[in-house]
Structure 1
């Protein structure tokens, strides 16, 4: 509970200075596209619709993951830590793990690895790993209680290594397959350790400011891309040992990633959810991850604070969090049911 209180306080303080500006931006920019999109020949029209509903009247979803073996998706509740499961074509998700399972207070980033294990981040504690077939917890990795933290998102490279961002510590944790197997075989609990420290690389910011958020891996697993949501910058992190250039700021053309939350990378195309501006952007990644060029961006108030997104088949599924309607970003009443959206044209 102490960790939850700290996180809520930090998050509300971070967003309180931009709430009014965001409200005006969202209304004024509703259903707009960037000049980059307009300059393309006959861009695909944007259409936003409901993919499926989530059960519960105060879900406030935050993360989403897809199991590439089946196309099933998993969504987590920031409000209570529950996990929801939806099969392809389902109009309503079902509860996969009930709220408070294994003491989880909240759910942030989610990912399903190639072995069918579901990785679930609790921002106040760390990450737990579940067998999707049995729903049993395999292992958990916690941040030391004395360390100020807000574990946020994760990426899993092709070799099965997981990398997790910490938004207040500005570090990236690592869990290797060997560490996962060893922890599962010896009590199921271990401590997260930082593999990359980006504090010296990030733009100057006040202590406690949210920085690192979404993180993805390229197809080869040679590098990661992580967003600094406050500065709007993107960082390339080399995973190869003894890299001569382990961390570099990506050169960005045509825009930025301010308020950048969840990321999705397929080949050389990167998608980003910009939460408080109700924006989804698409970028071309070139030069082995050194350059990002904005290709298209849509802003629409109906996205209702999109926290993350995932590509499955030809769909772009976007989590509509409604954090600003009685959730962690402000008072109010959410519109029920909570939904995962499908966004065409991005």
Structure 2
């Protein structure tokens, strides 16, 4: 075989080899489960999914964190909770899970590789409900549905965790009332502020990093019972838990205005709460708030195609 022929053969083999990973990645996405059971009595609320095909769920019963393979459905508790809820969850690129602690008034950061609690923060000792969390470029932000305040964990170089959280009072248009107030939280499309949904009014707010809030103009529409938020480009998906809906909103760049584009439901929805994306699907845990919670109550996670 001549050197030229050998070079051509090697080039062809390299092309085939280098072309394999995208095809494999597509295969992994297409082969994932669309729905799967969770343990009886688990009482799921939060969900987070990273780049790998694993979904993480928090229990509002005792705070356990459950990992489920989206390929096989295999599941295990990676860390036991503190006896208080684990609600909203977000996963960073270092495989660290940021956990909102609900009525426990706390937040935790868990290493999903070994289940170790890397840090725990007492955010508020008075009655509170630390409901959800979002990761921005340099911080983790937590909502409190009981008190008009956000809590910020400022991340240092290489994501170094801080010694304490910073309290950021909410001012402006977002006024707390009776019921469940600030709940789901996301970034604005331009990354310069936050978006918060007020569950009891169905209103969306742009909240600056200083805490000043401005209502997002939805043209007279609302997202009552809004819970988890998922931002995809300039599209915001809002889970309306007790209405069994996901509502799609098209935002302008700075999130001062939004247009409700569509809503979708599914016969498998049973009070879904939070939302995460993997492949071409949106995944949600069915919290089943309207079903009595017992040790034998069944729970599951479901998904719909991205729309």
- The verdict on a shared fold, with TM-score over 0.5 as the criterion, is yes
SS for the counterpart of 1:115 is coil
Q: 1:33-81: CA deviations, max 9, x gaps? A: xxxxxxxxxxxxxxxx952221x2111110001123x242211111221
SS for the counterpart of 1:306 is coil
Mapped contact 1:254–1:293 kept (Cα < 8 A) = no
Which shifted more, 124-133 or 293-302?
293-302
- 1:219, 1:116 → 2: CA distance? 24
Larger Rg: 2
- Pairwise mapping of residues 262-341 of structure 1 onto structure 2 (< 5 A)? 262-300=228-266, 302-327=268-293, 334=297, 336=298, 338-341=299-302
SS for the counterpart of 1:81 is coil
- Pairwise mapping of residues 59-138 of structure 1 onto structure 2 (< 5 A)? 59-68=42-51, 70-98=52-80, 101=81, 103-123=82-102, 124-138=104-118
Aligned Cα RMSD in Å? 2.4
SS for the counterpart of 1:307 is coil
Matched with 2:225 is 259
Mapped contact 2:40–2:295 kept (Cα < 8 A) = no
- 1:345, 1:182 → 2: CA distance? 36
Matched with 1:28 is none
Q: State how many pairs are aligned.
A: 272
- 2:155, 2:295 → 1: CA distance? 43
Matched with 2:3 is none
Matched with 1:215 is 185
Is 1:195 matched with 2:168?
yes
Change (3 A) 1:162 1:137: same
Matched with 2:123 is 143
Change (3 A) 1:291 1:90: farther
Q: 1:257-283: CA deviations, max 9, x gaps? A: 110000000110111111111111111
Give, in angstroms, the shift of residue 287 of structure 1.
4.2
- 1:182, 1:173 → 2: CA distance? 12
SS for the counterpart of 1:276 is helix
Contiguous gaps of at least 5 residues in structure 2: 1-32
Change (3 A) 1:216 1:345: closer
Q: 1:312-332: CA deviations, max 9, x gaps? A: 2211101111121113xxx99
- 2:306, 2:108 → 1: CA distance? 35
- The structure showing larger relative contact order (alpha-carbon pairs under 8 Å, at least 6 residues apart) is 1
Contiguous gaps of at least 5 residues in structure 1: 1-48, 184-189
Give, in angstroms, the shift of residue 295 of structure 1.
1.0
Change (3 A) 1:293 1:139: same
- 1:182, 1:309 → 2: CA distance? 27
Change (3 A) 1:288 1:144: closer
Matched with 2:177 is 205
Is 1:154 matched with 2:133?
yes
Change (3 A) 1:219 1:251: closer
Give, in angstroms, the shift of residue 90 of structure 1.
2.6
Give, in angstroms, the shift of residue 86 of structure 1.
2.0
Matched with 1:175 is 153
With normalisation by structure 1, the TM-score equals 0.72
Change (3 A) 1:114 1:303: same
With normalisation by structure 2, the TM-score equals 0.81
